[in-house]
Structure 1
Amino acid sequence: MSSSPNAASVALVREQQVLLIKRAYAPYQHLWTLPGGRIEAGETITECAAREIKEELGLTVYGLRPVLEQWLGQDKTFRLAVFATEGFDGAIVPSDEIADHGWLDRSQILGLRTTAGLGDVLEAAFALFERS
């Protein structure tokens, strides 16, 4: 089991909302979560995060800020690096991996079926952009 991240996701934050996706396929089929995926050979974890957002949503991201790392799955197959940013360009064009997507605020997330621990991850992501 490597301690280096082998998957990445990104919280795209806009005006106290986050862009969540509903996965169309396993793993995590039919669950709401952050867009992201597995690292490819030769990539840094930040490059993985940016590529996954481009592939899944058609957006270009910049200014990625690390939020946290966590193990995923009962067998801890994936060490996920979560990033957050308010910096992105382009129009959302979801890939076939995405069954649905939407900009949601904290209250809307409560009633959704999400990946484990998503609420805590989102609170940490939102905290990076809190205005004093």
Structure 2
Amino acid sequence: MTLALPNAASVALLHKSEVLLIQRARAPWLGMWSLPGGRLEPGEDAETCATRELKEELGLAVFALRPVMRLNLGEQNRFLLQVFGTEAFEGEIVPNDEIMAVRWVRSDGLDTLPTTPHLGEVLHRAFRLFDRS
């Protein structure tokens, strides 16, 4: 099954040479490190979803989202994930119960972390998009 429109969205929050990762506290990918985000609600587009999810999961307001890439993920490509990137965010990081931990990670610091599929490629593209390759 291949979806035509995204049904999930995530955001690479970049600060200098680091990206904010979350450790997931729920399935799918329980315990894995990933970008914050989630599933679209009825009537939402991917950018609205990404903005809402960052507010709900981390208490952060995000601005000036730029598309990074789309990924098919999950069993039988159940999710079409639209990944955005931004350097524009504000607020204090206050994780909700969907998150076990939060960590700023350098682009070369993924090797020691169990991550969700394709995270290395996503971050490579996000850092290039913001001239941090």
TM-score, reference length from structure 1: 0.96
Is residue 65 of structure 1 aligned with residue 70 of structure 2?
A: no
> 2:98 aligns to what?
97
Stretches of 4+ aligned residues off by more than 2 angstroms: none
Deviation (angstroms), 1:5: 0.3
Q: What is the root-mean-square deviation in Å for CA atoms of aligned residues?
A: 1.2
> 2:13 aligns to what?
12
Identity %: 54
> 1:39 aligns to what?
40
Paired AA for residue 63 in structure 2: Y
Secondary structure of the residue aligned to 1:107 is coil
Secondary structure of the residue aligned to 1:41 is coil
Tell me how far apart the structure 1 counterparts of residues 25 and 59 of structure 2 sit (CA, whole Å): 17
> 2:57 aligns to what?
56
Deviates most, 104-113 or 24-33:
104-113
Deviation (angstroms), 1:107: 2.5
Q: Which runs of 5+ in 2 are unaligned?
A: none
Tell me how far apart the structure 2 counterparts of residues 130 and 104 of structure 1 sit (CA, whole Å): 17
Tell me how far apart the structure 2 counterparts of residues 59 and 104 of structure 1 sit (CA, whole Å): 18
Matched residues, number: 132
Paired AA for residue 36 in structure 2: P
Q: Which runs of 5+ in 1 are unaligned?
A: none
TM-score, reference length from structure 2: 0.96
> 1:77 aligns to what?
78
Deviation (angstroms), 1:131: 5.8
